[in-house]
């Protein structure tokens, strides 16, 4: 079923190139393609050569829908997108409308387009849904590969289902992330399986699933082409890092560039700022809290690392770390407190009065109870880059450190603390 629609996707990608050429006729790409396809004319007035590829012919067809033949000086406006600029998304959408996908298929593709992730990862996911990845099985069909055995387990044919779902290595990664599905999926296609995962509105976000599929494939390529092997645990850590980084990126102003240089900022005089972070190891069901208290000079008033004993989810661990940091501050008598977190969702939940129904509701209730009679407590959001010291503390927990330090912090954290202090006006 895939071929016809996949080719449409390719056509909309190519049409994007064509659109770029029209917008920017002096670019290198434009010059290269002109030499090949339309040496003596402009793109929009070009005729197809004697033997154009199917894809190229269709790409020119798409754009000819909207391109006036003769008015070369008019501004070209693409009607598929409100901005008037051509995008792969709108090109594909237009082609999709005239095709005969089932309702379920259309829904699955729509949800892919709505995943919050960089475009290259979204396109990867799209290709995977069409089974368009060069798995050994697919290469074998095209008579490119002879051996189809999975490189990792060497036992099974490397189909898309095997490499992204069934291979024991892959299975451990999904398990470590807590993503599960009913047993016996042997007869379930990758497409059906992924659509099913996407529909489960559980703890696991579509972003996590998307990044995981992409990271597993990328690790497989590194293993195959560069001989670099990444183990299950480091892949899990990498995936969680990608997801939380991208989310906090999107949360702060909606732009990555804007927040890269954002650093920790000191509280106003008379206030203490509390930063906390969690370090999670889902595979071993472990999580650690790290928290640090600082004054308006950036000086450490106290810090702590606590083993949470029991991992349920990253979100719950973040909430627990926040609670433990608040407890610690109050125990030391700091009641003029600014509680900073890199999770906007957490901060929002703490600020509203209505009852929370999420998995972290008991922790939210505990925190609200802790601060109920304290008028000088504020909760505020800070991007991850402003939370390095707490992040280092939480990672020390993973290495076996645990404890509380009054007026001090463990040595490895001091570098992050000093870096933060350099921006504090003296």
Smallest distance from Zn ion to CB 165, Å: 10
Question: Whose Cβ is closer to Zn ion: residue 152's or residue 204's?
Answer: 152
Smallest distance from Zn ion to CB 228, Å: 17
Question: Whose Cβ is closer to Zn ion: residue 167's or residue 390's?
Answer: 167
Residue 384 in contact with Zn ion, rule: CB under 5 A: no
Residue 152 in contact with Zn ion, rule: CB under 5 A: yes
Among 160, 167, 197, 329, binds Zn ion (CB under 5 A): 167
Q: In the range 131-150, which residues lie near Zn ion by CB under 5 A?
A: 150
Residue 164 in contact with Zn ion, rule: CB under 5 A: no
Smallest distance from Zn ion to CB 167, Å: 3
Smallest distance from Zn ion to CB 121, Å: 23
Residues 8-47, one symbol each (x = binds Zn ion by CB under 5 A, - = not), give ----------------------------------------
Residue 157 in contact with Zn ion, rule: CB under 5 A: no
Residue 346 in contact with Zn ion, rule: CB under 5 A: no
Q: Which residue has the tokens 């008379």?
A: 270
Candidates 167-175, 275-283, 349-357, 385-393; binding stretch for Zn ion (CB under 5 A)? 167-175
Residue 165 in contact with Zn ion, rule: CB under 5 A: no
Smallest distance from Zn ion to CB 186, Å: 14
Residue 96 in contact with Zn ion, rule: CB under 5 A: no
Question: Whose Cβ is closer to Zn ion: residue 150's or residue 338's?
Answer: 150
Smallest distance from Zn ion to CB 162, Å: 6
Q: In the range 223-262, which residues lie near Zn ion by CB under 5 A?
A: none
Which stretches of the chain bind Zn ion, using CB under 5 A?
150, 152-153, 167
């Amino acid at each position: 079923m895939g071929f016809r629609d996949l080719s449409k996707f390719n056509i909309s990608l190519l049409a994007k190139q064509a659109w770029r050429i029209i917008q920017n006729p002096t670019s290198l790409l434009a010059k290269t393609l002109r030499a090949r396809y339309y040496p003596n004319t402009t793109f929009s007035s070009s005729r197809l050569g004697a033997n154009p590829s199917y894809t190229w012919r269709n790409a020119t067809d798409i754009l000819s829908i909207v391109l006036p033949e003769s008015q070369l000086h008019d501004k070209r406006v693409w009607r598929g997108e409100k901005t008037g600029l051509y995008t792969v998304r709108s090109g594909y959408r237009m082609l999709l409308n005239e095709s005969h996908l089932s309702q379920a298929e259309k829904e699955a593709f729509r949800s892919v387009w709505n995943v919050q992730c960089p475009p290259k990862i979204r396109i990867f996911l799209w290709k995977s849904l069409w089974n368009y990845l060069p798995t050994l099985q697919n290469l074998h069909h095209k008579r490119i590969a002879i051996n189809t055995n999975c490189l990792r387990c060497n036992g099974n044919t490397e189909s898309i289902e095997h490499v992204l779902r069934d291979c024991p290595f892959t299975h451990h990664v999904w398990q470590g992330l807590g993503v599960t599905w009913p047993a016996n999926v042997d007869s379930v296609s990758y497409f059906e399986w992924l659509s099913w995962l996407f529909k489960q509105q559980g703890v696991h976000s579509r972003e996590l699933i998307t990044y995981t599929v992409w990271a597993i494939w990328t690790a497989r390529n590194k293993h195959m082409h560069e001989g670099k092997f990444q183990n299950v645990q480091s892949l899990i850590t990498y995936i969680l890092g990608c997801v939380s980084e991208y989310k906090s990126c999107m949360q702060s102003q909606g732009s990555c560039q804007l927040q890269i240089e954002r650093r920790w900022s000191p509280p106003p005089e008379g206030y203490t700022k509390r930063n906390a972070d969690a370090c999670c190891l889902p595979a071993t069901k472990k999580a650690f809290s790290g928290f640090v208290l600082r004054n308006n000079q950036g000086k450490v008033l106290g810090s702590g690392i606590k083993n949470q004993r029991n991992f349920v989810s990253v979100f719950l661990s973040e909430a627990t770390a926040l609670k433990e940091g608040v407890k610690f501050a109050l125990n030391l008598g700091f009641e003029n407190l600014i509680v900073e977190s890199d999770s906007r969702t957490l901060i929002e939940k703490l600020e509203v009065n209505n009852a929370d129904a999420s998995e972290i509701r008991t922790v939210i209730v505990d925190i609200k109870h802790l601060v109920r009679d304290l008028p000088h407590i504020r909760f505020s959001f800070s991007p991850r880059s402003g939370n390095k010291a707490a992040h280092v503390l939480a990672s020390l927990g993973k290495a076996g450190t645990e404890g509380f330090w009054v007026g001090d912090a463990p040595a490895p954290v001091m570098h992050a603390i000093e870096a933060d202090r350099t921006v504090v006006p003296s």
